[in-house]
Structure 1
Amino acid sequence: MQSVRKWVCVAALLSGGALAAGSYRVQSGDTLSGIAVRAGISVSQLRAANPHLKNADAVQAGWVLTVPAPGRGAPARSGAAARRTHTVRSGENLTVIAARYGLNLTQLLSANPAYRNGKALWAGAKLVIPARTAPAANRVTIRAASTRASAWAWPLPGHHAISSGYGERVLEGEAEMHYGVDIVAPQGTPVRAARSGRVLESRPDFERGWGWTVVLEHPDGWITRYAHLSTNLVKVGELVVQGQPVGRVGNTGRSTGTHLHFGTYLRWDPHDPLSLY
């Protein structure tokens, strides 16, 4: 299956990347968690349907796997017995952990309320994994922003289509972590500061694939990145207010279409931007 390009709409992304129940031949770059996410199941369900994966941490190209339907492949449990814990490993984030257990981010945060307001996730922390009551939601949606004074402003008002969400993905045949969300908008659309702060970076960063990028630091330790811009509108050291244009949407750097890469970090620890709205 060819990897889906970042610039396509959400509906095309879903139709091209989802796996139906049945047999699937492993492709180069596939991972257990990646296959499970595309099938809408947990890794444990995928292992249960393929006994030879019981002790395997990786899959090999060419293997043929049985992909169970969502909600099948593992014995059902109820009540407290269905709740498990997960010990966070280095490099994991809430979105990836939720997908691994067949949950969506809202379900995981509901069981772990301490992380609802952006608390940093450290290796070794233990998360409660709730019982899965419904198939994980694949479509990325934007919730209405809060009206409280400290709310985050959406960087592209009127443009909410996400072509690539936060977490594991396959791009150009290679598995990688995507530490942000890609928001589709026309070339030149003004990109606005999600919060007030100071300009930490405003430069072309083609070495790391960001293209023209702006990075803002905010008073409480949060940092935001706006990448693949066509134009930068602020300078390093400048103070900006929430909603102020800091650049314009473009297609520079490692980008396969016109969009904004929006990343959020708490003291440089990446967080899913959608969890802040």
Structure 2
Amino acid sequence: MPSSVGETGGGVPRVSPLVVYARGIVRKGVVAGVRRLVLGGVLLCGAAGAATPYRVQAGDTLLGIALRAGVSVSAIRAVNPALRASSTVQLGRVIQIPDRSAPATTHTVTAGQNLTVIARKYGLTLTQLVRANPKYASGRPVPAGARLSIPARQVPVYLTTGRDTVAPAAARPAARSTRVVTTPAATARSASPRSSAAWLWPVTGYTTVSSGFGGRTLEGEGEQHYGIDIVAPVGTPVRAARAGRVLESRPDYQRGWGWTVVIEHPDGWITRYAHLSANLTKQGEWVVRGQPIGRVGDTGRSTGPHLHFGTYLRWNPRDPMSLYR
């Protein structure tokens, strides 16, 4: 089988009850490529004390940071040895913010919601949500009024700094084993996309799609891939496919996206740009069609430099290639 550069964030395995997740490697104490085994949403093995980096801003205090993050001061000190004997934080210093524990709960589905929207709301992968609610594993629609089980989980804490963000060097993985990805069509192909008045191709000059939209096999397991992977060198500018408001501009290692930008467009369309090496826009900012919003990278649950480009209509996944024909 041909090997391929491809993205695995957001994939939904259809068969195996045991799924291996890769933890974001910017987290303190986590070795690049370390994996967690998750069965029914329960951590079986992996790294303890996962944390997310935060650069201290003017006016920050240790207590203030803890209150904003929803964790205790002692928890922050536990993952920052240099702070154990100090009650002050130095301006500009990067400290680690530990994950916050979120208890199991239930969610009542409202009109217009689907599993993708609900998983995103609670910081879960689609796989984790489906595994906690196996009656929907076959892809059956979730009716309004249904009650879903939301498993206990560790939630990364991202404190905004108001600055453009760049993935730390540690988030750019060294060489790793290549994963085998196969799709019903050829795994790697030239897309030959045509930008239209509505949609701009997000990576100018690069048209090879290593993994398409829909069903594929990754390391022997079937899954759904809600987007396309466009192969391009690290650092290549990524441009907004359409004008819109930035919903997210942050690292999302919990769900495998790495550094990601999500844009909401006026007519209900939403686009995701994932595995970036740099984010060039802020949450809440209005961006125009063709504006650079990031740079191609290899962060998150990725097997090599590429852009994951996802398109959604009211959060229902759609094949991006259908918009460029």
- TM-score normalised per structure 1: 0.51
More helix by share: 1
Q: Deviations over 1:162-195 (max 9, x none)?
A: 1111111112332211000000000100000000
Give the distance between the partners of 1:142 and 1:193, measured in 2 at CA: 18
**Offset of residue 228 of structure 1:** 0.3
Task: Measure the CA separation in 1 of the matches of 2:221 and 2:193.
Answer: 33
CA change 1:7–1:180 in 2 (3 A) is closer
Q: Is the 8 A contact 2:241 2:289 kept in 1?
A: yes
Q: 2:263 aligns with which of 211, 216, 229?
A: 216
Is this contact kept in 1: 2:276–2:307, CA < 8 A? yes
Q: Which residue is equivalent to 2:213?
A: 166
Summarize the alignment of residues 1-277 of structure 1 with structure 2, pairs less than 5 Å apart. 4-6=3-5, 138=186, 140-145=189-194, 147-148=196-197, 151-277=198-324
Residues matched between the structures, number: 154
Relative to structure 1, the CA distance from residue 7 to residue 146 in structure 2 (aligned partners, 3 Å threshold; closer, same or farther) is: closer
Bigger relative CO (Cα 8 Å, ≥ 6 apart): 2
Are 2:209 and 2:231, in contact at CA under 8 Å, matched by a contact in 1?
yes
- Cα distance between partner residues in 2 of 1:228 and 1:146: 22
Identity %: 66
**Paired residue type of 2:3:** V
Which AA in structure 2 matches 1:256? T
Q: What one-letter code is carried by the residue in structure 2 that aligns with 1:4?
A: S
AA aligned opposite 2:322: S
Question: Structure 2, unaligned stretches of length 5 or more?
Answer: 8-14, 17-113, 116-139, 142-183
**Structure ranking higher in strand proportion:** 2
Residue by residue, what CA displacement relative to the aligned partner does 1:70-96 show, whole Å, maximum 9, x if unpaired? xxxxxxxxxxxxxxxxxxxx99xxxxx
Residues 188 and 219 from structure 1, CA distance in 2 versus in 1: closer, same or farther, beyond 3 angstroms? same
Query: Where in structure 1 are there 5+ consecutive unaligned residues?
Result: 9-28, 31-89, 92-121, 124-135
Deviations 1:124-146 (A, max 9, x none): xxxxxxxxxxxx96474434425
Q: TM-score, normalised by structure 2?
A: 0.44
Distance 2:316 2:288 in 1: 23
Q: What is the rounded CA distance, in whole Å, between the counterparts of 1:248 and 1:217 in structure 2?
A: 19
CA contact (8 A) 1:181 1:273 kept: yes
Rounded Cα–Cα distance in structure 1 between residues aligned with 2:218 and 2:185:
21
Q: Give 3-state SS (helix, strand or coil) of 2:235's partner.
A: coil
Q: Is the 8 A contact 1:4 1:171 kept in 2?
A: no
Equivalent position amino acid for 1:6 in 2: V
Task: Name the Cα RMSD after superposition.
Answer: 2.8
- Seen in structure 2, the aligned counterparts of structure 1 residues 146 and 249 have a Cα distance that, compared at 3 Å, is closer
